[in-house]
Amino acid sequence: MGTSHPTVDAAAAAVENSPHLPPPPFRIRRPALFLDLDGVLAPLAETPEAVVPHPRRTAALKAVADRFDGRVAIVSGRTLAEVDRISESALTSASGVHGLERRRPDGSIHRAEPAEGVRVAVEAFEAFAARVPGVIVEDKAVSAGLHFRQAPHAAAAATALARCLATDTGLVMQPGNAVIELKTPGTDKGTALTTFMEEPPFAGACPIMVGDDLTDEYGFRAAEALGGFGVLVGPARQTAARFGLPGVDEVLDWLERLEETA
C-alpha cells in the first residue's frame, strides 16, 4: 500500500477545527474507517450507561458502511455488547475492550481469555468504590475499569491503586477519559486495526482511525504505518494524528459528507 497523503478538498477547509491540526479530507481513495465510540461518535457522559442510541448516529454509520462496502468498524474500549447497544448494531465489524473482543466482517467473534489478575483488580476496585462515592466499577470480564468522572478528586488515588495492581497482577494499565482500566495483555486499538486490515473488505484500503483519548494513539500510529492517518477529536494535544475535528457533531458531519475517489 502506498503512503501518499490524501488531498484535502475545498469543502474540508470550511470545517471549524481545533488549533494546530487541519481538518480531515472529505474525498479519499478507498477509505477504511475505524471509529472510537465515546467522545467520537457519542458525547461523553457521567456514567457508561448514560450513553444511549441516537437516530442520526445510527443512520450515519449504516450509510457510510454501505457507501464503502463494509469498510467501517467501531474500535472501542467498551464491550461488543455495549457497542451494539449504543450503535443499534449498525455495523458488523467491531472491536471491543481494546481489541480483546473482535467481531469479524463475517460476524464471527474472537474473545481473548481473561488473565487471572482481572478478578483481583475487580475486587480491589469494588473495595475502593465502596469508600469513595461517585466512583463506578466496570467489570468487562477481560478487564476492569474504574470510572471517576463523578468523583474527580479521586483521580490520583485511583491511578495509584491501578498502578500498584498492574505491578502485582501483570495486567496492562490503560488510562482513559476519567477512567483507569486494567486489562488482559496482548492487544490494543492498534493491533485491532492492523488485524482488520489483513482481512477483506479492509485489506488494501487506506486506514483512518478517528479517536479522542490516549487509547486511540495506538490506532493513530497503526493507521499511519499502513499508509493512512489518524483524526483527533476534541482539544489539540500532542498526538500521532495528522488531522483533527472539534467534537461529535463535526465527526457526524464529516461521515455524512465523506466520499470515495477513484
Domains of the chain plus CATH, in order, are: 28-105+187-261 (3.40.50.1000), 117-183 (3.30.70.1020)
Residue spans of alpha helices (H) in the chain: 55-67, 80-87, 117-131, 155-169, 189-197, 217-225, 248-257
Spatial distance between the Cα atoms of 210 and 36, rounded to a whole number of angstroms: 6
Question: Catalytic residue among 9, 36, 69, 106, which?
Answer: 36
* Per-residue model confidence (pLDDT) at position 158: 97
Q: pLDDT below 50 — which residues of the chain?
A: 1-18
- CB count in 10 Å sphere of residue 244: 24
CA 9 to chain centroid, in Å, comes to 26
**180-191 burial: b if 16+ Cβ within 10 Å, else e:** bbbbbeebbbbb
Question: What are the backbone dihedrals phi and psi of residue 110, each rounded to the nearest 5 degrees, phi first?
Answer: -115, 130
The pLDDT of residue 20:
78
pTM, two decimal places: 0.89
- The CA distance from 162 to 151, in Å, is 16
How confident is the model at residue 46, as a pLDDT?
Answer: 85
Q: 36 an active-site residue?
A: yes
Strand order in the sheet with 136-139: 136-139, 143-147, 179-183, 172-175
Tell me what pLDDT residue 44 has.
Answer: 92
